[in-house]
Structures are given as structure tokens and as C-alpha cells.
Structure 1
Amino acid sequence: MPVTFRKSFRILPGVRINLNRRSWSITLGGGSGPRWTRSSTGRDTYSADLPGPFGFRTTRRRRGDR
């Protein structure tokens, strides 16, 4: 069974630093509104909760990153 690690720190209202075994990321927004996450591995993720059990998420890699 693999061992995983994930930790999230709230540094300001609406701003979080997320750490895991391979990378770190910063998230702006949250709650029931839209969120934007930028990862140290080169991914940008935009997500939002929609009414009911629905949500929206799109992820893309930044140019020049692996």
C-alpha cells in the first residue's frame, strides 16, 4: 500500500498553500466560489462548484514547463 502525504495551510482568507510529496501549489479563492490553483509542476487549474452535485474543472500546463 503506497504512503501518501498532503498538507494544506491557510495563509490569508481565500489563500492556501498546499504541500504533497512531489510538489507545492497555491490556491486562490474557495468556498462555494471559483478557485484558481497554480502548481510547482506547471499546472494551472480553474474550478468552480455549480448548483447541486455539479462542478466544473479545467487544467492546463504552462508553456515551457515539463
Structure 2
Amino acid sequence: MKQPTARTSMNDPRRGVTYHVVAYRSLTRAEMIDCISAYLSQKNHPKPKRGQAVTIITSIGHDA
């Protein structure tokens, strides 16, 4: 299976964090927000600190 290559970025000025979402196609703003919300709702990792860049890999856009 090929790895996703389309990288879409979004800044959160309130938290001071940059999110990079890697997918199989460019994502819309709504899709980015969904991915970031899902990432932040997970309990198995610490919350990102101010100034940090977070990379999230998703399967959005993958043709089954």
C-alpha cells in the first residue's frame, strides 16, 4: 500500500500549534478540522505544547 503524500497545514493561533495532515489528496478545511479534533480527543498522547508542530497521517482519499 502506498503511503499518503498530500500534506495540508493549518495553524491554531490560540494554542500556538501548527498541524500538518498527510493524506492521499488535499483536504478541505472541514476535513482538516475533523482530523485535528479526532487527534486531540485521543487520550494516549500528551496535548501539543505552544510552538510545536504536529503531523497527523490519515487515510482520507484512499481508494479501496
TM range (shorter): under 0.3
Length-normalised TM-score, structure 1: 0.27
- Larger RCO (alpha carbons 8 Å, 6+ apart): 2
Question: Which one has the bigger helix percentage?
Answer: 2
Question: Which one has the bigger strand percentage?
Answer: 1
Larger CA Rg, structure 1 vs 2 = 1
